[in-house]
Amino acid sequence: MSGSPGCRRREDGSATLLVLAATGVLMFLGLALSVVAAIVVDHRTAQAAADLAALAAASAGTAGGDACATAERIAGANASSLSSCQQDGAVVTVAVSVDGPTLLHRAYDITAQARAGPAGQPP
């Protein structure tokens, strides 16, 4: 056998510390990735709600209805709240927000904007 038994005792438990440190780093990375995933999902939800609200509002506006009231109703039905609604002729621009993740005891809102109108309208 090589080495003396006294030298080996100083290294006892060092692998445990390395495994604990690696586990801590992996847990932190997992938490960070889950927060990023939550933000992406919330943004996709907000964008879908904005798209649907804008399309419904433009349709209601061309039919003579209240475009912004329709946008608010559709946004609410898609778990979001209407932040703004502007109607410029037959073109409607809406912004919606959804509740995002809570980080460090602070809640964040995720917003999205969409614009819709009849085909052939200039952007």
User: What are the b/e assignments for 47-69, b being 16+ CB within 10 Å?
Assistant: bbbbbbbbbbbbbbbeeeeebbe
Q: What is the pLDDT of residues 7-44, one digit of tens each?
A: 566 777 788 899 999 999 999 999 999 989 999 999 99
Q: Which of 47, 56, 105 is nearest to 79 (CA)?
A: 47
**Amino acid letter at 34?**
S
How far is Cα 78 from Cα 19, in angstroms, rounded to an integer? Answer: 45
- How far is Cα 92 from Cα 85, in angstroms, rounded to an integer? 7
pLDDT digits (tens, 9 = 90+) for 53-67: 999 999 998 888 899
So what's the pLDDT on residue 14?
83
The model's confidence at residue 2, banded by pLDDT at 50, 70 and 90, is low
pTM for the model stands at 0.77
